[in-house]
Amino acid sequence: MSDIHNRIEKLTPEKRRLLEMMIRRQAEEEVQAVPDTAPMQEMERIEPVSEENFTDKTEVRRFYNAVNRQLNASAFGDASFFLNYGYAPNDSPAYSRIKLPDNTLNKNPTRLVLEVIGDCEVRPGDNLLDVGCGRGGTVTVFQKFFSFNRIVGMDLSSQAVAFNHRTHNFDNAWFLEGDAQVLPFRTAYFNIVTNIESSHGYKDIEAFWKEVCRVLKPGGHFLYTDLFAVDKIDETLARLDDIGLAQRRRTDITGNVLLSCDEVADTHARAYSGDNDADFMGNFLAQPNSPVYNEMKSGKSKYMIFKLQKKDN
């Protein structure tokens, strides 16, 4: 069972009914995100896909579509590019080579993306895939601070991808709907794959890891960050190594993420009130005293950054 399903199961009956109402309303207003298909001819998958790789993701898709609908209804919906918890500096080592001005919009979420990139070398001819791109925030950071040949943002949520098509217009970046467990790209196409605070919703996480390894070029990097149960971190890294993704760096940024959640709590409370359910959005955004926040605070889970590299053989 994925973390998303666990979170849904832990909702109170009242909150569960509210979420089900949101999902039903979302199903009635389902959006089809139509991507620009021109670049796909070069990078589209040519390998056959086994039927066992497909699992039913209807509930997860509708959950994230409902979240995006809530964000669209918020006071700052048009500027809500990020769904990550953000990163605030403290005394721990930082790896980002870019210093942001104090007045940067979405500063903490941008910092998180830059910290995930960290010391990874980015070259102008590189192709990058952001799996679980959400509302395009990570792609906008890549566009602003780095030079890539091609950037692809992929998400399961049609609402998120439709938002990206309306909002972001880049010459060398594309957004499309897709399944993280069955990536629609050819083998050894990307130099870098990123996955930021998304994989906890994947039902078959190992299928995703194998797909990342497949689409990466030998020597390419998988830059990966999410919440992990403390007792699963070493096991996760060992399995990634077995698949062909060797650890190059592991960084515990739980303290930085909690500090970020504290810093933006009031802003989020104001932005996502009104038509939004405060408890539902509070847990999704890891507001102080929400279940997700408290799990980090208690040490049950850690927010980790993994820099991994595809082995040459």
Q: Tens of pLDDT along 221-279?
A: 999 999 999 999 999 999 999 999 999 999 999 999 999 999 887 666 665 555 555 56
Domain 3-310 is of which CATH architecture? 3-Layer(aba) Sandwich (3.40)
Please determine, for residue 50, whether its predicted confidence score (pLDDT) is greater than 90. Answer: no
Choose the weakest-confidence range: 6-10, 102-106, 301-305. 6-10
Annotated domain spans of the chain? 3-310
Please determine, for residue 177, whether its predicted confidence score (pLDDT) is greater than 60. Answer: yes
Output the pLDDT for position 34.
52
* Predicted confidence band of residue 60 (pLDDT cuts 50, 70, 90): confident
What is the tens place of the pLDDT at every residue in 179-236? 999 999 999 999 999 999 999 989 899 999 999 999 999 999 999 999 999 999 999 9
Output the pLDDT for position 278.
59
Q: How far is CA 240 from CA 121, 234, 275, in A?
A: 21, 10, 41
**Residue in 144, 163, 167, 147 with CA at minimum distance from that of residue 155:** 163
Output the pLDDT for position 191.
98
* Predicted confidence band of residue 83 (pLDDT cuts 50, 70, 90): confident
Distance, in Å, from the CA atom of 185 to the CA atom of 182, rounded to the nearest integer, reads: 9
Please determine, for residue 28, whether its predicted confidence score (pLDDT) is greater than 60. Answer: no
Percent of all residues in the chain with a pLDDT value above 90, rounded to a whole number:
59
Q: pTM score, two decimals?
A: 0.84
Tell me the average pLDDT across 19-45: 58
Tell me the average pLDDT across 154-170: 92
Tell me the average pLDDT across 287-301: 90
Please determine, for residue 39, whether its predicted confidence score (pLDDT) is greater than 80. Answer: no
* Predicted confidence band of residue 287 (pLDDT cuts 50, 70, 90): confident
Average pLDDT of the chain to the nearest whole number: 84
Please determine, for residue 95, whether its predicted confidence score (pLDDT) is greater than 70. Answer: yes
What is the tens place of the pLDDT at every residue in 107-116? 999 999 999 9
